[in-house]
Structure formats: C-alpha cells, structure tokens
Chain A
Amino acid sequence: MSMLLEVSGVSVTFDGFRAINNLSINFAKTELRAIIGPNGAGKTTFMDIVTGKTKPDEGRVIWGDRNISLLGMSESQIAREGIGRKFQQPTVFEAQTVRQNLAIALKTPRGPFAVLWHKKTKSNGALIEAVAEQIGLSDSLTRVAGELSHGQKQWLEIGMLLAQKPRLMLVDEPAAGMTAEEREKTTDILKEAAKTRAVVVVEHDMEFVRRLNCKVTVLHEGSVLAEGSLDHVTSNQTVIDVYLGRANA
C-alpha cells in the first residue's frame, strides 16, 4: 500500500445534521493537496476526525505503512504517529518565546518524566534554528510569541508543525489575514515541506490555491464532489453550481 492515509466511508452526525457523509479520501506519502469547499462542507470536521478530536459514527481511517486504524487513538497518540495540525486561528503559546514554542514542538520524547529530565542539546538547538530559518523568524527567537504579527504567528505555528517532523501536515487556512507578500512566502514554505511529506491545505482563497499548484479536492455536504487540478474542478459544472448556488443564497 503506497497510501499514507486512507479515509473511507466515514460519516458523522451532529444532532441530526450530517456533517460528513460517506466521505472517502486518500493521501500519498509525499504530496501537496488543497481541500476547498463552501462553508459547512465539512472541511474542519474532516480534520477533526483525522486528528482524533471527533469520533465518526462509521467508516475507517487507516494510517501509514502498518495500516493501523486511527479511530481508537487519542489526539496525542495520533500526533505522535506523525500527523500535525495547524488551526484556523493561529494558536501559539503567546506567553513564551519563539524558541520555547519551537522547543516544545521538537520531536523529542513526550512523556512527563522524560520532559522533566530533558536537557538542552546542541543538535536540538541547531534544529530549532534551522526551522526558524525556514519560517523566517531567525531574528525573533528570543521574542515573546505574543508580540509577533499575525502573519508571523501563522508561520510560527507552521514552524512548530515542521519541528514536530510529521508525515502528514493538516493546515487550516494558512493564508488568512496575510499580505500578498506573506502569502507568497507561506506558499514557498508549504511547497518545500511537501517535498518530504504529505501536506493538506484547507483554503478558501482560490488565488492561494492556484499558487500552490497542486491537486484539489472539492468537498460539499460532507463528501467529495470533485477531485483533480484546479482548472479541472473549476470547470466542473456541479462545482460551479454549488459555489454559485451558495453565492446566490
């Protein structure tokens, strides 16, 4: 099996509302994928299911080379398996420095006692600096994260994901609230990251998706509506209907 993550036949219902409806979607080990869809299409719920925050009513979520199911696992176990997630709103530890933020994310033993006896090492320090370089925050390592600009916080959170060394990165609206310049840089970071792992980007902004230049999956009412290149899906009549229909409503 060459797939990294296989989601098949997953459904979840909230209070009678079917947020995800028989959703099947696969990701290869190295790819960049954009997921688009109107509001309420189930993009965030899909991420919740993969990361263990929400338990689906039915369906399978199979992960990695050993084909293990993610459904019985807790959020932290799934994260340790190598799935990183960036939230819609930038969530960094605002009271701590950029270096501390990255240090927490660094792939080291996660148990409380291991953390308690943790010693700083040169190699870890080098890793932190490398990630900081990648996200353009080398000069800000000693700054408190709360002082960063909105765009910098987004990058820091992406940086924390990179420091985690995940095999799958789920990125929710990374470009929200960014200037054109910042978006470009974000695109570069994500493209670079996707060379060695799978990166899944949920995004509203078509321009941004176009710049990512990758395979696109369109979600609608909790299942896959269309899949392919951006040009391919945007010429799909049902996709147009869904978007326009929404726009008219």
Chain B
Amino acid sequence: MHRSFFAQNPSVLWVIATLAVFTVAVTLLSEVTGVDVISTSFVKTLGKTLCLCLIAIAMDVVWGYCGILSLGHFAFFGIGGYAIGMWLMYARTEVIVIESLAKQPIPATPSEISDAIGNQIFGVVGSSNFPWIWAFADSLILQLLMVILVPSLLALVFGWLAFRSRVTGVYLSILTQAMTLALALYLFQNDSGLRGNNGLSGLQNVPGYGNVSQATISILFFVASAIALGAGYLLFAWIVSGKMGSVVKGIRDNEARVRFLGYHVESYKLFIFTVTAIVAGIAGALYYPQAGIINPGEVAPIASIYLAVWVAIGGRGRLYGAVIGAAFVSLLSSWFTGGGAPNINLGFYVIQWTDWWLVLLGLSFVAITLFFPKGIGGLFDLLVRKQS
C-alpha cells in the first residue's frame, strides 16, 4: 500500500486504528490479564460480532458497490464454518478416542481408531462410516484450504451460470436465495454426511489445546477475528477505491454502459462475487469455533436476508457503514433477545422485548429504507459536510 491509498481513503486509517485500539482494550480488560471486566462469554460475543462485520463488508462490496443483492452469502459463511468444524470435530474426537483406546491391553490399529471416531461422530445419524466429504478432515491444512476452496468453487460455478445468462436484479436475488435454500435443505438431510439436523458441535474445544482455558482461546479467536476484519477491510477498501471500484460502481449504476465500453461485465461480477464469497467463508470459519456449534438452520435463507438488513441499516456503498450496521444490529439484537433490555409496562400490557424485538427491527427497517436510505453511515456525511 503506497501512501496515496491512505491519503485518498482517510476512513480506512480511522477504522483500522479504532479496531486496533478496541482489540487491545478488550484483551487487557479480559479474564486473561486477570482484570476480568469483560467476561469470557462476552469476549466470544465480541469476536463473533467482528466476524459478522467481516461478512457484512463482503456483502457491502457485492451489493452496495456491485449492485448484486446476494441472498446467498450466508451460505458461504456456513460452508466456511462447516469446513473448519469438520477438522475441529474430527481432531478432537480423535484425541478422545486414542485416549480411551490406550486403556486397552494391546495398542489400537489405525482402522480401529478410525472406526471408533466414525462411531462417535456419526452415531447420532445412525451411521459409523466416514462420508467422502470427510476425506481430508484429519488435516488442518487441507480443511483450511477447503474454507477458501469450497465457497470459491460454488461461487464460481453459480456465478458463472447466473451472470452468463444475464440474470440480474431481483431475479438474481431470488436465484441466490434458492441456492441458499437448496444448501440448507441438503444439510438438513441425515445422509448429507454432515450429521443432518444435529450439525457439528463442540467446536469451541481446540484439539491439542485441551489444557488451555477457554478464556485464552476466546481471546486468541477474538484477536484473530480482529486481524481478519482489518485485513478484509484493507483488501476491500483497496479493491473498491481504484479503477476496479470505478468499474464495479459503473456496473451497479449502468451495466450496459460498462459493457459497451468494452468491459466483460460478467467477469467483473464473477470476480467480486467469488472474492466476497471467500471472505464470507473465512468469516464463517472464525465465527463458528467461537459459537461452538453449527447446524443447517444457520444457513437458512433468512440469515442472508438479515445480512442485507445489517448492511442497509449501516449504509450501503461505504465499508465502515457495513461494519457499523453489523455490529450495531447484532449487538442490539442479542441485548434485546437476551433479556437485557428493560420491559415497558404500558399499564394494560407489558411489552416484553424478547417478543417484540423482531417487530421493532422489522418496522425500523422499513422506516430506514423509506426515510434514511443511506443508513447510519449517512449521518457521517452530514458531519463531514458541516465541518467543511
């Protein structure tokens, strides 16, 4: 990154600096340093929120900048989670199985170990054989590769098909939603090879670090999430700031014009769709070890629509808007649904926020779309304009 990049995009520096200060502050105030102002579970919540911010900026690039309202990016997020979850579950079960087999009078053979692991993992769906998609589950490196490879391949194939036949606008949105639904339905099956409805669990335990406390692990993941968010922010800021950004915004505003200028619009859309899918996959791979469990419900189409809601509330077409939207809405949501918000007594009726939060969210979302199409991020414009 040369100087002019930051000079042209001062907001990037601000965001990175804020993120760094925030990360250091949370680490210092956590259980790890003994200060213990921020509980381990809240550190996890914050870490998960950072991952949601990461997928939100990916969504902002694909929607806010490129004009593709993808209702499928949470599918990539889920795939990333499943990919890392497979290794976490396999490796941890392997540790447990080897431990218990060691108590036998004679040492176990490789096939005995693998059978026992299979039984442990797939017993819930009435099977003990490893499905082929678990072929690389024993290798962290390969599964990490899957986090990137599978979303990118899916995005490439799906995107190529969709963009090639010039499916645009709401049709594309519906098509991406159908893709997500198909994936969720597939995962719900018991013979999907991914434990059906049960999903993958126990992901918070990192194999080989059994004696490291959750407090430390949570901080490690929190810091990793912060670094990933920072890196993702820089990457996307770089992509959308230069000529690439110009072309991509051009595609959003007037696809035909870009095409008649000689740009192969489909390649650009595919590039943006795939890159953001990969980032979504990485975000998912960081999110689910902090959540501890992933199941097919996470991939359901509604999750991807919520993602769009966050970006819209934060403000489309500006990366920091997506970060603000995702952090604001997801934290607010857990505050309301977690019972943190005080109930309102109207005398004749008590508004319990656990019941009414979604009504509030839905209606405020309508209001934002109608009255503040630029979202929360739009407020910064007013601020900047006042100063100048």
Q: Chain A: residues with CB nearer than 8 A to chain B?
A: 51, 74-77, 79-80, 84-85, 87, 91-96, 100, 103-105, 110-112, 115-116, 118, 160, 164
Given A112-B267, A115-B244, A51:B253 Cβ within 8 A: no
Given A74-B264, A115-B244, A104:B253 Cβ within 8 A: no
Q: Which of B18-26, B178-186, B255-263 contacts A (4 or more CB under 8 A)?
A: B255-263
User: Can you list, as one digit per residue, whether each of B230-264 has a CB less than 8 Å from chain A (1) or not (0)?
Assistant: 00000000010011101101100110111111111
Most buried by A among B254, B259, B265: B259
In the complex, 17 of the A-B residue pairs with CB atoms within 8 angstroms, ordered by the A residue number, are: A74-B264, A76-B259, A76-B265, A77-B264, A79-B261, A79-B263, A84-B260, A84-B261, A91-B256, A93-B246, A93-B253, A93-B254, A94-B253, A105-B261, A110-B264, A111-B264, A164-B261
Cα A164 to Cα B268 with chains together (Å): 19
Nearest-CB distance from B354 to chain A (Å)? 41
Given A112-B244, A112-B267, A116-B244, A79:B259 Cβ within 8 A: yes
- The answer, yes or no, to whether B271 is at the interface (CB within 8 Å) is yes
**Do residues A80 and B262 form an inter-chain contact, with CB atoms below 8 A?**
yes
**Do residues B262 and A110 form an inter-chain contact, with CB atoms below 8 A?**
yes
**Do residues B250 and A104 form an inter-chain contact, with CB atoms below 8 A?**
yes
**Do residues A76 and B254 form an inter-chain contact, with CB atoms below 8 A?**
no
**Do residues A75 and B250 form an inter-chain contact, with CB atoms below 8 A?**
no
Chain B residues, Cβ within 8 Å of A75: 256, 259-260
Cα A105 to Cα B247 with chains together (Å): 10
**Do residues A79 and B268 form an inter-chain contact, with CB atoms below 8 A?**
no
Chain B residues, Cβ within 8 Å of A110: 262-264
Cα A116 to Cα B263 with chains together (Å): 13
Chain A residues, Cβ within 8 Å of B263: 76, 79, 110
Q: Chain B: residues with CB nearer than 8 A to chain A?
A: 239, 242-244, 246-247, 249-250, 253-254, 256-265, 267-268, 271
Cα A172 to Cα B77 with chains together (Å): 46
**Do residues A115 and B259 form an inter-chain contact, with CB atoms below 8 A?**
no
Given A94-B253, A96-B250, A79:B262 Cβ within 8 A: yes
Interchain residue pairs A-B with the least CB separation, the first 10? A79-B262, A80-B262, A118-B243, A112-B271, A76-B264, A91-B257, A75-B259, A93-B250, A116-B244, A85-B260
**Do residues A115 and B243 form an inter-chain contact, with CB atoms below 8 A?**
yes
Nearest-CB distance from B313 to chain A (Å)? 21
**Do residues B249 and A96 form an inter-chain contact, with CB atoms below 8 A?**
yes
Chain A residues, Cβ within 8 Å of B246: 93, 96, 100, 103-104
Given A95-B253, A112-B267, A79:B247 Cβ within 8 A: no
Question: Across the two chains, which residue of chain A brings its CB closest to B269?
Answer: A112
Chain B residues, Cβ within 8 Å of A112: 244, 267-268, 271
Cα A74 to Cα B260 with chains together (Å): 10
Cα A183 to Cα B262 with chains together (Å): 28
Nearest-CB distance from B99 to chain A (Å)? 49
Question: Across the two chains, which residue of chain B brings its CB closest to A146?
Answer: B253
**Do residues A93 and B261 form an inter-chain contact, with CB atoms below 8 A?**
no
Chain A residues, Cβ within 8 Å of B254: 91, 93
Question: Across the two chains, which residue of chain B brings its CB closest to A93?
Answer: B250
**Do residues B243 and A79 form an inter-chain contact, with CB atoms below 8 A?**
no
Question: Across the two chains, which residue of chain A brings its CB closest to B262?
Answer: A79
Chain A residues, Cβ within 8 Å of B271: 112, 116
Task: Name A104's contact: one of B247, B264, B265 (CB within 8 Å).
Answer: B247
Nearest-CB distance from A77 to chain B (Å)? 8
Cα A17 to Cα B268 with chains together (Å): 36
Nearest-CB distance from B160 to chain A (Å)? 14
**Do residues B244 and A111 form an inter-chain contact, with CB atoms below 8 A?**
no
Chain A residues, Cβ within 8 Å of B259: 75-76, 79
Question: Across the two chains, which residue of chain A brings its CB closest to B268?
Answer: A112
Most buried by A among B242, B249, B257: B257
Cα A27 to Cα B366 with chains together (Å): 54
Cα A27 to Cα B205 with chains together (Å): 73
Given A112-B244, A115-B247, A118-B243, A76:B253 Cβ within 8 A: no
Cα A92 to Cα B264 with chains together (Å): 18
Most buried by A among B244, B247, B254, B260: B260
Chain B residues, Cβ within 8 Å of A103: 243, 246
Chain A residues, Cβ within 8 Å of B253: 93-95
Given A112-B271, A116-B244, A76:B262 Cβ within 8 A: yes
Beyond the given pairs A76-B262, A85-B260, 4 more chain A to chain B contacts, judged by CB atoms under 8 angstroms and listed by A's residue number, are: A75-B256, A75-B260, A93-B253, A115-B247
Nearest-CB distance from A156 to chain B (Å)? 11
Cα A111 to Cα B271 with chains together (Å): 11
Nearest-CB distance from A202 to chain B (Å)? 15
Cα A74 to Cα B166 with chains together (Å): 12
Chain B residues, Cβ within 8 Å of A79: 259-263
Cα A111 to Cα B256 with chains together (Å): 17
**Do residues A116 and B242 form an inter-chain contact, with CB atoms below 8 A?**
yes
Cα A51 to Cα B337 with chains together (Å): 55
**Do residues A51 and B260 form an inter-chain contact, with CB atoms below 8 A?**
yes
**Do residues A93 and B244 form an inter-chain contact, with CB atoms below 8 A?**
no
Nearest-CB distance from B151 to chain A (Å)? 18
Chain A residues, Cβ within 8 Å of B260: 51, 75-76, 79, 84-85
**Do residues A104 and B261 form an inter-chain contact, with CB atoms below 8 A?**
yes
